[in-house]
A and B are shown apart, each in its own frame.
Chain A
Amino acid sequence: MSYKIPMGPYHPALEEPYKLDMICEGETVIDANLHIGFNFRGIEHLAETRNYIQVIALMERVCGICSNIHTLTLCQAMEQLTGLNPPPRAQYIRVVVAELERLHSHVLWAGIAAKLMGFKTMFMTCFELREKVMDVLQAISGNRVNYSMNRIGGVNRDIDDPLAVLAMVEQLEREMVRTVIPIFTTSTTATSRCAGIGVLTREKAISCGVVGPTARASGLPQDLRRAAPYAAYAEMEFDVPVQQSGDVKARLLVRALEIIESCRILRQALTKMPPGELSTGDEKIVFTTGTATSRVEAPRGEVMYSVSWREGSRNPSRVHVRTPTFTNMPAVRWMVRGARLADTPLIQASIDPCYSCTDR
């Protein structure tokens, strides 16, 4: 006999405002329905009432984890409408902050995954590391959550001593290689909980249109930093980790390898950072009429902004956001079908969902 388990609208595991209705038989999940929209804040409408300075501060509040990515994508779109090009140093600083944010997001996700396995000691270890990443971000930007680094045509703050930041990053890398990565890649307790569950085949991944680490774990080598480089990514050497099995373990491995790649990019960006200005366009910013889109590889996958402007207006006429969770979440239904109830929190978490920024 089947029965329905309602998880949410405030999920106990992921602590996010969404609801998953699961139809189960015994401990096996037969089907699942996902409901979102519990945290709608009307940010896109509010953006239409803010000027081009205020809208950056507003869109930074879409997400508490990848706040920099949202302002970066918005600024890139607005730069297309104003014709401004950030100077090379600003492009490098954007790469540094974006990669630190990726480290922050992946370590946070590793902690949440550990918590979902009931491995709270590992959760605490990950969150301790996350604190250290936030310390580096604070040293650069003065802030721990909303970094306020991006502006139209450049960045707001300089990295005065890139080598000092490099020393902090190398210390972080050593700790991650010593603790987090081995536990998630070689520990039998962790891998036994992740191997073979929540499988998303390559074909299903293509038909669902998944992005980011979820796609890369299903054998799709897509990464905007490589396919459509922005900021200074064209000058960086890095690999795009791809796994073929499509299960939770593959998503775990992709993220663990991405942590190493992020450290590699950070090392290059901090050592090769060119001297120069932080921004262009100190004079009055003039927008042209039109719509510009910008895409960026956020820690969870592709973020897209579509910004429309009317010439002479101080406010945007439309700001549309598409977050990676919005494209990844329909795949959860296929992942949890046939899974055991005990595995479902981990499967849901494996796409690294952020329903608060999806709702906006």
Chain B
Amino acid sequence: MNLTTALARLLIFPGLLFAVPAAWFFLWVERKTVALMQGRIGPPFMQPFYDFIKLLGKSTPPRNGVGGLLMMMWPLLAVSAAAGAVGLLPVLPSSGGFEGDLILLLALLELPSMCVIAAGFSSRSIFGEIGSAREAALSVSYNVVFLLAIVSIAASQHTFRLEALASAAADRPSSLYWLGVLAILVCLPAKLHINPFSLPNAEQEIYSGPMTEYAGPELAMWELSHGLEWVAATGLVATLAAPHLAAWWLAAMVFVALSFVVVLLLSVTAAATARLQIDTTVRFYWQCTLIFAVLAISSALFMRFKS
């Protein structure tokens, strides 16, 4: 991958130029789906964009010293990491990439969550701190399944290169591969803080959790980073599940369509469930880990005997 294609991927498609409108679109799809399921009209199409612009126009309370600087830094870091993760997705055929870019993608996907935790503690608000503690406990729980899933997908294809994994769906991959994709899907509601795992920002319990002290452009950046996380997380599933297509425009359309389906699926799950408690959530993900680990090991052993 040369510098031009790398920049094009990062800035145009699937990077910033595509990802930012896609983030607003996915946020709208989520809100609209939930509203329709609840018998409401829901927001107009442009609402997430209007929210963003309105927040940009507001002023933030002055915060002095290192604390203020840190609070300003976390949302920017989260946006950069989420945008970088979207840019790395191997959407187009022969898009390049490098050996081990899967590990970089994982790190970039995890960074916004780390920033949320740090932001809650930096804000020195009791609600922010509780929200951050919950986010940390949640992160420790679902990430074990998430990482196991990614590792098993990589192991089933003998590569840590994203492009090779993306093209694997076409070559009738093993059951281990699809098991991994399913496990990633199970982790997405927790990663995106939606029901039934919306406890870090449970409004009725701890106001907005880590975001309680945020306002104006900083909050706008958090909203954007959340939207970009939607694009990156659903995009990851879409690229892993999409068939390998030679035409770039067809590949791009299939990517958007699959992402849209995943967003719909997650929104319907969110609308149909109540919020779980922290210990139920942790137990759920550790049980998932156990089941997934047993299935992955048996599948790996089975493959070894078959070969």
Contacts and interface: CB of A to CB of B under 8 A. Distances in A.
A40 interface: no
B274 A124 contact: no
Contacts of B63: none
5 closest pairs, A vs B, by CB?
A118-B275, A13-B204, A119-B274, A124-B38, A117-B274
Interface stretch (A43-51, A67-75, A258-266, A338-346): A338-346
Interface stretch (B194-202, B222-230, B296-304): B194-202
23 contacts: A114-B274, A117-B275, A118-B198, A118-B202, A119-B273, A119-B275, A120-B34, A120-B38, A120-B271, A121-B37, A121-B38, A121-B271, A125-B38, A189-B276, A190-B274, A193-B277, A340-B277, A340-B278, A341-B130, A341-B206, A342-B202, A342-B278, A344-B205
Interface in B124-171: 126-127, 130
B40 A124 contact: yes
Interface string B18-55: 00000000000000001001111000000000000000
Given A114-B274, A122-B274, A123-B38, 12 more contacts: A4-B126, A12-B204, A118-B196, A119-B275, A121-B34, A121-B272, A189-B273, A189-B274, A193-B274, A340-B279, A342-B202, A345-B205
B222 to A, nearest CB: 19
B126 A342 contact: no
A189 B196 contact: yes
B43 to A, nearest CB: 15
A12 B206 CA distance: 8
A158 interface: no
B204 A345 contact: yes
Contacts of A344: 205
Interface in A114-139: 114-125, 128
Given A121-B272, A122-B274, A116 B280 contact: no
A235 interface: no
A118 B130 contact: no
A342 B196 contact: no
B205 A341 contact: yes
A343 B38 contact: no
B249 interface: no
B38 A27 contact: no
A125 B274 CA distance: 14
A331 B203 CA distance: 24
A contact patch SS: helix
Interface string B253-284: 00000000000000000011111111110000
B248 interface: no
B269 to A, nearest CB: 11
B85 to A, nearest CB: 27
Contact of A116 (B127, B196, B204, B207): B204
Contacts of A33: none
Nearest to A190: B274
Contacts of B206: 341
A128 B39 contact: yes
A12 B203 contact: yes
A192 interface: yes
Interface in B202-242: 202-207
A18 to B, nearest CB: 15
Nearest to B199: A342
B237 to A, nearest CB: 24
Contacts of A206: none
Contacts of A122: 274
Contacts of A115: 204
A6 B206 CA distance: 10
A163 interface: no
A120 B204 CA distance: 12
Nearest to A4: B126
A5 interface: yes
A117 B204 CA distance: 9
A118 B280 CA distance: 15
Given A3-B126, A118-B198, A189-B196, A343 B277 contact: yes
A190 B276 CA distance: 10
B274 A342 contact: no
* Residue among A12, A125, A343 with the highest chain B CB neighbour number at 10 A: A12
Residue among B126, B196, B274 with most chain A CB within 10 A: B274
Contacts of A120: 34, 38, 271
A30 to B, nearest CB: 15
A324 to B, nearest CB: 23
Nearest to B129: A3
A124 B34 CA distance: 11
Nearest to A349: B204
Nearest to A24: B130
A114 B126 CA distance: 25
B279 to A, nearest CB: 8
A27 B274 contact: no
A73 B278 CA distance: 45
B103 to A, nearest CB: 33
Nearest to A345: B204
A6 to B, nearest CB: 8
